A and B are shown apart, each in its own frame.
Chain A
Amino acid sequence: MKIEILFPEFCNLYGDMYNMKYLKMCVPDAEFIETALDDIPAFTKEDVNMIYLGPMTENTQEKVINRLKPYKERIKELIEKNVVFLFTGNSVEVLGKYIENEDGSKIEGLGIFDVYSKRDMMHRHNSFLVGKYEDIEIVGFKSQFTMMYGDNKDSYFVEVEKGIGINKESKLEGIKKNNFIGTYIIGPILIQNPLFTKKILKNIVANDEKLALEDDVMAAYEVRLKELKKL
């Protein structure tokens, strides 16, 4: 099994890289490929089981868009082929139509999804989230300068119970298409959501093995879910 981590030297903000470290603890036999921004991504040459991209700075978003643009069709093909993707934080924006700055200037994205995002660098949005994904509940935190716009009613990740969706007016968080999941949730989403991690693992290893540290991770999840629901 191969899991490709894209551009970890840049796209590593907010502790998100521990999603991959935790996954490694859960599937120690998997091969993790770390692709630097200067390298040609492994997914362009071979089939991989999962592709991960973490949050990044605004300047890095442009570099990542330029790097991935030549592989737009391949990414679309892999999404159609049900390859697991997990894009966290603002990384999902690079696959949208464009990112708009406060002055109206636009950075063209890959245009794989029919959404766009708007930056507001002097107003950072912080919130927590509780919501439903299939038959499980997701908890998480958001901290971002951008909001996303566009219609995701047929392609959302989480139906939000508490918190916001892709923007303040939306209750539908993230983008989901086949096994592609893009979410503004930042930080250790896989550690904080063991039931979600199990679903991801089911898609890449097709079994129901126990997670690493499962009892403790589950206990922390249950406490957080209970506490956040009370707020």
Chain B
Amino acid sequence: MKKGFRFYIALWGAKMGTILLKILRRNATFFPGKFALKICPDFIGKIGKPKTIVAVTGTNGKTTVCNMTEDILKDNNIDFIDNKYGSNIDAGVATTLIGGASVTGKAKKDLAILEVDERSSPKIYPYLTPTYLICTNLFRDSLMRNAHTEFISSLLTKYIPKDTTLILNGDDLITSNIAPSNKRIYFGIDRLDTDGDKCENIARDIIVCPKCNTKLEYEYVRYNHIGRAHCPKCDFKSPDIDYLATNLDLENMKLALKHDNTEEIYDLISDNIINIYNIVTVITILKTLGLTCTQINESLKKQKIVDTRYSEEVVCGKKVITHLSKGMNPIACSRVFDYTRKYKGNKAVILLLDDLHEAANGNENTAWQYDTDYEFLNDDSIKQIIIAGARYLDGLVRLEIAGVPKEKITYQRDELSAIDKLKLDGIETIFILHDLYAIDLKNAVKNKVEIMIKNEEELNKEEKKGE
């Protein structure tokens, strides 16, 4: 593609902008790319790009998959560019490519790992052909932005370049059918003891065969539309899996990965099914890029799910777990609710799920709460649920409709005062489930919970002394 005058103005202007932002100690994550695209709308097409581009898209897990892939590559001294600190829309991708290009616009590195927002497909793929495009899954997401899975999957099918090889979640019947004429590799997880023959989730987005409208027959359901199914009338079915995780051993935290008649053993760094999918996705990407089992696993063992997403700490014998639970994203929240209910022992759960900005204004559309399995929180092992924040009354009603007895629910607008009512007696684990944009609030709540646990411990000690 001929570059032209506008391209160079855009590139040099963006590069100067990046330097300026660095001097001002601001992150150059978005604005250089935004500037370049304003000056030269087909900038992404014109700038030099690494020979191999790995794009990661999908409703849930794309950030974790990118982070883990990048950390393992780095640990193996493989050089690449990425948009880890940038945005995942066209301006963020452009910013990353600008950072990875010389002043003449040539790519300086051979590999790019790019997280791409699925809604941004029309603005990115006409100009950039990923060598590999990974789709982690497609679920109901923010209804205000993404509407429904049919809309998102049709966008991907329409805009994914024909030459891109897809790496797809084969356990997801929606994901596995995007861009059907493209070359594809499937990853998946073999049947688990916890899989059932009935779906217990509210949201199920593929119930009938997309070819002949016949009701699909599921061999097993894992959650929502994840599982394996076939059409009893035509040839539509879940695909054969190329990279299949088998023998999940949660006691020893290992999994076996079957591929091409070989079986390799990998370490698991999380027992949460969402993260196990993320790990299998990462292994599939890295194997496809040519890394060996040893290269991957030695680095994988050192990985940790980042603190902003998951953390656990033991304070005076009680566990405090913080878990990202993206508000407006019904499946992400439902998965976390499921993990919480199945976590061993008695629990108290603190819900901080409001969109802090919209909820504070009163205009948060809370329809997503009714696509989310709040019913999972109606569990005997959950002894108290604290719901706080601007939409606390909506949360209360949703929990009551889910069947949670009102006496178990503490509801209050102010989050930190609500924590005062936390009952620690008999509780082994306190879960703090928080929205993506509530990190500061989550930290404040966590500190308060930890102080309360310590104070209670002191009190208990004094009481014992007194006896």
A interface residues with partner B (beta carbon < 8 Å): 9-10, 13-18, 21-22, 25, 37-38, 57-59, 63, 121-122, 124, 126, 128, 141, 143, 145, 186-188, 191, 213, 216-217, 219-220, 223-224, 226-228, 230-231
Contact = CB atoms under 8 A, between A and B. Distances in A.
A192 B122 CA distance: 36
Nearest to A189: B367
Interface string B178-211: 0000000000000000000000001000011000
Given A9-B208, A15-B371, A124-B147, A228 B362 contact: yes
Given A126-B365, A143-B144, A187-B366, A213 B400 contact: yes
A141 B367 contact: yes
B362 A230 contact: yes
Interface stretch (B93-101, B317-325, B389-397, B427-435): B389-397
A220 B147 contact: no
Given A128-B363, A143-B365, A188-B367, A13 B396 contact: no
Contacts of B122: 122
B364 to A, nearest CB: 9
A145 B144 CA distance: 10
A228 B113 CA distance: 43
B145 A124 contact: yes
Nearest to B362: A227
17 contacts: A14-B143, A15-B371, A16-B367, A16-B370, A57-B151, A63-B213, A124-B145, A128-B363, A141-B365, A145-B151, A187-B370, A191-B370, A213-B401, A216-B396, A216-B400, A227-B363, A231-B363
B143 A22 contact: no
Contacts of B145: 124
B220 interface: no
A227 B394 CA distance: 13
A198 to B, nearest CB: 16
Contacts of A121: 151
B281 interface: no
Nearest to A222: B393
Given A128-B365, A186-B367, 14 more contacts: A14-B368, A16-B367, A57-B150, A121-B151, A126-B144, A141-B365, A186-B143, A186-B365, A191-B397, A213-B397, A220-B394, A224-B362, A227-B362, A227-B363
Given A9-B208, A213-B401, A223 B393 contact: yes
Nearest to B146: A124
Given A15-B368, A126-B365, A186-B367, A217 B397 contact: yes
Nearest to A220: B393
A21 B369 CA distance: 14
A146 to B, nearest CB: 11
Nearest to A59: B150
A42 B372 CA distance: 30
Given A25-B401, A124-B147, A216-B393, A9 B207 contact: yes
Nearest to A142: B365
A231 B369 CA distance: 23
B106 interface: no
Contacts of A128: 363, 365
A62 to B, nearest CB: 12
A187 B367 contact: yes
Contacts of A59: 150
B401 A22 contact: yes
B252 interface: no
Nearest to A224: B362
A188 B366 CA distance: 8
A57 B151 CA distance: 8
Contact of A14 (B150, B208, B215, B367): B367
B143 A143 contact: yes
Which of the listed residues A15, A38, A219 has the most CB atoms from chain B within 10 Å of its own CB?
A15
A57 B330 CA distance: 18
B362 A216 contact: no
B148 interface: yes
Contacts of A216: 393, 396-397, 400
